[in-house]
Amino acid sequence: MNFELLALIIYFMAMLTIGIVFFLKSRSESDKDYFLGGRSMGPWVTAMSAQASDMSAWLLMGLPGSILAFGLGQAWIGIGLAIGTALNWILIARRLRRFSQAAGDAITLPQYLSNRFVTKSKTLQVVCAVVFLVCFTVYVASAFVAGTNVFTSLFPNINKELAMIIFATILIIYTFLGGYKAVCWTDFFQGILMLIAVLAVPIIIVLTKDLDTSILSNVIVSGKDTYAFSTDLFANPKEIANGLAWGLGYFGMPHILVRFMAIKKPSMVKKSAIVAIVWVVLSLGAVILIAYFGRMLLGEALLVDGKQSMIFIELSRDLFPPFVAGILLSAIIAASMSTADSQLLVASSSFTSDIYKPLIRKKASDKETLWVGRAVVLLVAVVAYFIASSEGDGAQAIMNLVENAWAGFGSAFGPVVILSLFWRRFTYKGALAGVISGALVDVLWLAFLSGPTGIYELIPGFAASMVVAVVVTLLDKKPSEKITAIFDEATSKDND
């Protein structure tokens, strides 16, 4: 019997069960319940769901593979993400929960940004929703590709198309049926699984293996590629700056920010923040250790074949019996699913709340909106499936685009979210200008200057959005009393 496959089947069945349970419990609920869980999520589920939806298969494949190949300088990406996570929970979470409710009880980020300025204009709301819909469809496609690659690497006898269909079907079913609550609860358990998996591997290595640090100095040649491992964290200032810049992206990530909006009470954020920060520090720290130890144990074998992203998989199989290894390897599937389900739901909620109801069917009932949202979940997933299953350059181009989507979201929305929460004078025109300028500079920098300068496009994109938003606001007339009243209500000490 293939015990790794058995572990994976048990995992998939658990995810499906959660989706079915929440569908049966929520058949009479509204669109707000489906998309935001009725603002009823507790601190533990909120924290674990936010972090699981944040960290995709990149956590267990991309980051350790990069560190294994190029050295500890790549760990600055993890350090930047840990700092960004902490700042996002400490500075943004509680205020966004208060502001989203004060601003017309908004259930999506675009809706919040429009309601925050009491405007009848739907320009900002629609622009944001379209960006979300397009980018998240690509994001979901990347999750399909990642999940399928892991599935087929674990079980090479399974056809690639069949593996993608299985992965996509399970993901669609529990998101379609259960909505936000099902996504949060599946993410909660997936977050626990991911943490256990990344901690187990380095702990067992320390307890059972003899490590030879002299191997780290070996230069490994694979075809035209040469891999020299550097243990000096401070060797490359540009690498440090680009790594830390990753943390800026958190302030504009819709699928993470929506978790802040859905927590039951603003006062619960403190407990959630502690859980989330501990989770991310332990997870990223363990992944760095996996790459460090992996370079000593399996580095040459993997790098020669260009399989550095397989380091977690190979170590799990080497250290644990098949069934336990199967459980640990399910964490990679969990990482892909926990990100994709959140993106499906945010893309769906943005379409229904920011385009369908305000522009297409203004008198749509809650039940109609809910089922339109479910239909969009299905549509986005189907489009993402066909994108992910495309061959050759098309699929590779999409994966390259997704690598930069983090910078796109951070540049366009990060500064605007921060200013909307902390600046009473901030105006609608400033917000619109900030979103457009951030997105534009990010794309132009990526296209023309990222290669020559080696500077991550999130840095100039974020800076441009912040400067333009501030300048346009100062040139604009002061906000009305209705707008400042929302700010005052949200920042009131009684609003908890």
pLDDT in tens, 103-153: 988 878 888 998 999 988 888 888 888 877 777 787 788 778 777 877 777
145-181 exposure pattern, b = at least 16 Cβ within 10 A, e = fewer:
bbbbbbbbbbeeeeeeeebbebbbebbbbbbbbbbbb
Determine, yes or no, domain membership for 377: yes
Point out the least confidently predicted range of 20-24, 42-46, 298-302, 460-464: 20-24
Overall domain count for the chain: 1
- pLDDT over 70, % of the chain: 91
H helices within 88-159, ranges in order? 94-102, 109-115, 123-154
Q: What does the mean pLDDT of the chain come to?
A: 85
Determine, yes or no, domain membership for 495: no
Is pLDDT at 402 greater than 70 in this prediction? no
What is the token pair recorded at 108? 């999506």
Determine, yes or no, domain membership for 336: yes
For the stretch 342-379, pLDDT in tens is 778 778 877 887 788 888 888 888 778 878 888 888 88
CB atoms within 10 A of CB 472: 18
The answer to whether the beta carbons of residues 235 and 75 sit under 8 Å apart is no
| pLDDT, mean of residues 300-306 | 87
CATH for 36 = 1.20.1730.10
**Partners of residue 219 on adjacent β-strands:** 228
pLDDT at 394: 45
The answer to whether the beta carbons of residues 273 and 294 sit under 8 Å apart is no
Global model pTM greater than 0.85:
yes
User: Cα separation of 69 and 291, whole Å?
Assistant: 9
CB atoms within 10 A of CB 285: 17
Domain that holds residue 107: 3-394
Check residues 34 and 237 and name the one with the higher pLDDT. 237
pLDDT at 400: 61
| pLDDT, mean of residues 262-277 | 91
Determine, yes or no, domain membership for 402: no
Determine, yes or no, domain membership for 453: no
Q: What are phi and psi of 425, to 5 degrees?
A: -80, -10
**What DSSP designation does 263 have?**
B
Determine, yes or no, domain membership for 492: no
Give rounded-to-5 percent helix, strand, coil for the chain: 80, 0, 15
User: Which pairs with CB-CB distance under 8 Å and at least 24 residues apart come from 229-232?
Assistant: 229/68, 229/70, 229/71, 229/72, 229/295, 229/299, 230/70, 230/71, 230/72, 230/73, 231/71, 231/72, 232/71, 232/72, 232/73
H helices within 246-365, ranges in order? 254-262, 269-297, 299-304, 311-319, 322-351
Determine, yes or no, domain membership for 474: no
pLDDT at 100: 92
pLDDT at 59: 84
| pLDDT, mean of residues 20-40 | 60
The answer to whether the beta carbons of residues 251 and 417 sit under 8 Å apart is yes
